[in-house]
Structure 1
Amino acid sequence: MSPRRAAALGAGDRTLRDHLISTAERMIAERGTAGLTVRAIAREAGVADGVLYNHFADKEELLALALWAHAESVARPLGPLPEPGAGTVEENLRAYVAYGLALHDGLLPALTGLIAHPAVLSRFAALAGGGGGSWNERLTSYLRGELRLGRLAPDARVEAAAMLIVGACHEPVLSLLFQGRSIAHRVSPDVVDDLVATVLAGIAPR
């Protein structure tokens, strides 16, 4: 192993591939994805530019894996999501909304820099599809489960309810990104409560 590569890896058993993913993930967390280049990642990782192509098919593969690692790091401290039948529907929806707001706050600024790179987003979506479902898919599945248990109105349109919640969680981040900022404003607990109350007014048993 060359001295440069040894210095890049440091102590521990992780591979150079892992090191490159970790480096790119850290850069995404700190700077976002806009203008993120192979050269910048290689320099940050302490390796030659061409080394990346010894471990990844292309730049898109590395960025998708780094973005997935970033999504996992954002979601890790948020804890598990409620299952159908546990607690109350109102409490569970608050948990889903709080989770969604935090997830979008941490992830969407990174995703917006990749709008012009659909290949990266496509590969990222493929990774998410193999990880037990995205947050919005789990929300829809949760509501369907509550519908089957009879804890929602028999005619509840749970897909539409899920879309309302997902859109509300996108809005605080996207509205500020369109204004040229990178961090969303914090949504107050009252707003979360109002959203949950509004959704429940349409799908709760009557």
Structure 2
Amino acid sequence: MSPRRAAVLRDGGGERSLREHLIATAERMISERGTIGLTVRGIAREAGVADGVLYNHFADKEELLAHALRARVRAVERGLPALPEPGSDTIEANLRAYVTHGMALHRTILPAMAGLLAQPETLTRFADLVGSGETWRGRLIGYLRAERDLGRLAPDAQVDAAARMIVGVCHEAVLSLLFGGGLVPEAMPVEPTEVDALVAAVLAGIGR
């Protein structure tokens, strides 16, 4: 092992494998610069390894980026409040928590993913890595279905449609800025009035 590669593995107390180091490096680059223009050579140089080393651990750049995107999503989620469980508090308060969480998450994640629109293979690999139940969208659908089963929503509530409505608003809030050529300020707080209006509209359709 070369001295430079050994130094890489010593970073972080020596507990991280080279594969994990490459994922962490790519994830950090995505958080700082987005995915546009991200290359194998750039990631390798940032990680302090030769270009070809990446192919010892990943089939291609798309696989590495998919793992890095998943790491980025998890890092963002760790910084957000925990999502409420079915049956706790009120439906209105819980939906506010889900909407606020979703808007904050998408404000951080979507700009990076927008840079991959011309690389659908990376997004497909990312979707394959993340089970539907692990995502914010999957948990939202599971939450609404559970509340319906508990009798806290209308028995015929179209919860899947309600979830799509919430997800669509979270997407639109970010994509409208991206496609309009504007910047997405990650630190900008989510407006409570926006959240309240969406929650009221959803509950008008599925509430008891």
Give yes or no for TM over 0.5. Answer: yes
Query: Which residue pairs with 2:171 in the alignment?
Result: 170
User: SS of the counterpart of 1:102?
Assistant: helix
SS in 2 for 1:78: coil
**Which residue does 1:114 correspond to in 2?**
116
Normalised by the length of structure 2, the TM-score is 0.93
Distance in 2 between the 1:17 and 1:195 partners? Answer: 42
Q: Write the deviation string for residues 25-62 of structure 1: whole angstroms up to 9, x where unpaired.
A: 00000000011000000111111111111111111111
Where do residues 1-206 of structure 1 align in structure 2 (5 Å cutoff)? 1-11=1-11, 12-13=13-14, 14-129=16-131, 132-184=133-185, 186-205=189-208
Q: Which moved more, 1:106-115 or 1:121-130?
A: 121-130
Tell me, yes or no, if the aligned pair for 1:172 and 1:187 is still in contact at 8 Å.
Answer: no
Paired AA for residue 145 in structure 2: R
- Percent identity, aligned pairs only? 66
One-letter amino acid of the counterpart of residue 7, structure 1: A
Structure 1: how far apart are the matches of 2:71 and 2:4?
Answer: 25
Give 1:80 deviation, angstroms.
2.2
Which ranges of 4 or more aligned residues in structure 1 deviate by more than 6 Å?
A: none
Paired AA for residue 140 in structure 1: I
Q: Distance in 2 between matches of 1:87 and 1:145?
A: 14
**Partner secondary structure for residue 130 of structure 2:** helix
RMSD: 1.4
CA deviations 1:117-170 (Å, max 9, x no partner) are 11111111111117x431112111111111111111122111111111111111
Instruction: Please give the per-residue CA displacement for 1:102-129, whole angstroms capped at 9, x wherever unaligned.
Output: 1101110111111111111111111111
Q: Distance in 2 between matches of 1:147 and 1:188?
A: 28
**Aligned partners of 1:128, 1:55: CA distance in 2, in Å?**
19
Q: Distance in 1 between matches of 2:86 and 2:18?
A: 42
Distance 1:127 1:37 in 2: 21
Code of the residue aligned with 1:151 in structure 2: it is R
Q: Return the alpha-carbon distance in structure 2 between the equivalents of residues 192 and 179 of structure 1.
A: 22
Deviation at 1:16, TM superposition (A): 1.2
Q: C-alpha distance in 1, partners of 2:74/2:190?
A: 22
Whole-Å Cα distance in 2 between the matches of residues 157 and 55 of structure 1? 44
C-alpha separation between the residues in 1 aligned to 2:66 and 2:86?
A: 32
Supply the distance in 2 between the matched residues of 1:79 and 1:192 (Cα, whole angstroms). 16
CA distance in 1, matches of 2:108, 2:143: 23
Contiguous gaps of at least 5 residues in structure 2: none
CA separation in 1, counterparts of 2:182 and 2:7?
36
TM, length-normalised to structure 1: 0.94
d(CA) in 1 for partners of 2:54, 2:159: 45
